[in-house]
Amino acid sequence: MEIILKQDVKNLGYTDDVVKVRDGYGANFLIPQGHAILATESAKKVHAETLRQRAGKETKTREQATKTADALKEVSLQIGTKAGDSGKIFGSVNTIQIAEALKKAGYDIDRKNITIDEEHIKALGTYTAKVKVYKDIQTSVSFEVVAE
C-alpha cells in the first residue's frame, strides 16, 4: 500500500513523504490515526502541487535550522539538581530538564527532539545530548549536571 504521510512518523518518514507500507499497518493504524492518507492518483497530483509551492519555504526553513544547529554547538548548559555527598543525584536528569535549559538559553526545542547518549544520568558530570533541529539536521549539545 502506498501512502502520503501527513506528519512525521518515527522510523518511517517525514511529513509529505510518499512511502510504501504493509496493507494492515496503513489501513488499520496510519490512516485511521490521521498520520497518512492513501496515495491515489488524484492525491499524488495534489501532493505534487503542494510540494512545488512549499519548495521555497523549505529552503528558508533548512537554512534557519542549519544556523540554529551551528549556534547550538557552541551552547554549554548547566542543569542544577540535588545531589548527595558522593556525587550521586537524587532522581535522574532527562530530556525535559534539557529542553527547559535550552529554553532559558533562548532555543525553543521540543523535548521529543532531544536524545541523551546515556540511558540514565544519575551522577554529576558533563554529558552530551543529540538535538534534532529539523528533519535530518542534528547537532550535539554538551551539558553539565551540577549540584544545587
- What are the pLDDT digits (tens) for 88-147? 898 888 899 999 999 999 999 999 999 998 878 889 999 999 999 988 899 999 999 998
Rounded to whole angstroms, the Cα distance separating 84 from 105 reads 27
Domains plus CATH for the chain? 2-67 (3.40.5.10), 68-147 (3.10.430.100)
Q: What is the 3-state secondary structure (H, E, C) of the chain?
A: CEEEECCCECCCECCCCEEECCHHHHHHHHCCCCCEEECCHHHHHHHHHHHHHHHHHHHHHHHHHHHHHHHHHHCEEEEEECECCCCEEEEEECHHHHHHHHHHCCCCCCHHHEEECCCCEEECEEEEEEEEEECCEEEEEEEEEEEC
Rounded to whole angstroms, the Cα distance separating 129 from 16 reads 28
Q: What are phi and psi of 78, to 5 degrees?
A: -120, 125
Torsion of CA 108, 109, 112, 113, to 10 degrees: 160
- pLDDT over threshold 90, residue 59: no
- What are the pLDDT digits (tens) for 16-44? 899 999 999 999 999 999 999 999 999 99
Cell numbers linked to 136: 535530518
Confidence of residue 53 (pLDDT cuts 50, 70, 90): confident
Rounded to whole angstroms, the Cα distance separating 90 from 74 reads 29
Q: Tell which wins on pLDDT, 45 or 51.
A: 45
Q: What is the pLDDT of residue 42?
A: 94
Beta carbons of 4 and 27 less than 8 angstroms apart: no
Rg, the chain, Cα only: 20
